[in-house]
Amino acid sequence: MMHFADSLTFSGRKVVAAWAALPFPASPGSSLPDILSAHQQDLPWKLLSSWREQKVSCCFAQSVVLRGICQEKPTSCPGQPRSPLHSCESPEQMLQQFLHTQFPGAFSTSHVLQQPCDTRPPFPQFFSPLLTRRGFLLDKAQGSSSGGVESIPVLAALQSSPVLHSLLSGLCQELRAPHVRRWSSFFTAGVEQDDFQEALEELKTLSQCYETGFGASEDEADSD
């Protein structure tokens, strides 16, 4: 994982953020271009971090994997123009085109796998009643099923993006709080005060590597 993250970082950046849509929101029988077209304005994945939720409008590099979406024939409503996604020849091209549209200029790699994520026991059954046994979304809840959800389509992504500036700078602010000095066990465990301060400065420098010209002033205002 460390080497994989290194392939997505440059210009002093060392950290990537994990995102996922579990399950990936798709209706039964819908095609990949139809599904992606429905999420042009609202990306379906969520940040897998305890940090506050943020909307991602740009990124530097990313790797995205989508699995469990059947390659159904694309549908089109009468009078509705076909999107560029419907003109792609393969699922990989569709996902790559979608990522290029959402994050122009970013380095993106994408993979599409037919096999879904297995969610049979002992996988916890915490899913909505709107999901079918194959993990697809229904308009209304179906009748009770003793089998539960057996598999789900999933989208997962690793991203190097400006979101990490807020996350890392926020962590740095938390560690600089005065109450940290009162944790005597923190330093008696072998951590030297000088090493601790040096690590904080390195963390601050790392967070600045994720700044953008547009978001820097807003993030700095939050930290103030």
Domain boundaries, the chain: 1-160, 165-209
Compute the distance between CA of residue 46 and CA of residue 37 in angstroms, rounded to an integer.
Answer: 18
> Which residues contact residue 155 at a Cβ distance below 8 angstroms, ignoring those fewer than 6 apart?
20, 21, 24, 44, 45, 64, 65, 66, 67
The three-point CA angle 73-75-76 to 5° equals 150
State the average pLDDT over residues 69-88: 64
State the average pLDDT over residues 83-107: 89
**pLDDT higher than threshold 90 for residue 172:** no
Amino acid at residue number 96: Q
Better-predicted residue by pLDDT, 11 or 100: 100
Confidence of residue 125 (pLDDT cuts 50, 70, 90): confident
Compute the distance between CA of residue 117 and CA of residue 121 in angstroms, rounded to an integer.
Answer: 12
Compute the distance between CA of residue 97 and CA of residue 135 in angstroms, rounded to an integer.
Answer: 25
> Which residues contact residue 104 at a Cβ distance below 8 angstroms, ignoring those fewer than 6 apart?
none
In DSSP terms, which residues pair with 117 in a beta bridge? 152
pLDDT at res. 63: 94
The three-point CA angle 12-14-166 to 5° equals 90
Strand 17-21 versus strand 154-160 pairing type: antiparallel
| Rg value, the chain, Cα | 21
pLDDT at res. 217: 36
Token look-up 């159904």 returns: 72
State the average pLDDT over residues 215-224: 38
Better-predicted residue by pLDDT, 187 or 85: 85
Q: Tell me, what DSSP letter sits at residue 86?
A: G
pTM comes to: 0.77
Confidence of residue 158 (pLDDT cuts 50, 70, 90): very high
Element of type H or E holding 137:
none
In DSSP terms, which residues pair with 61 in a beta bridge? 107, 160
Stated length of the chain: 224
Residue 131: helix, strand or coil by DSSP?
strand
**pLDDT higher than threshold 60 for residue 107:** yes
pLDDT at res. 89: 84
Residue 178: helix, strand or coil by DSSP?
helix
Better-predicted residue by pLDDT, 209 or 84: 209
Q: Token pair for residue 91?
A: 């699922």
Per-residue pLDDT tens digits for 199-211: 889 999 999 999 8
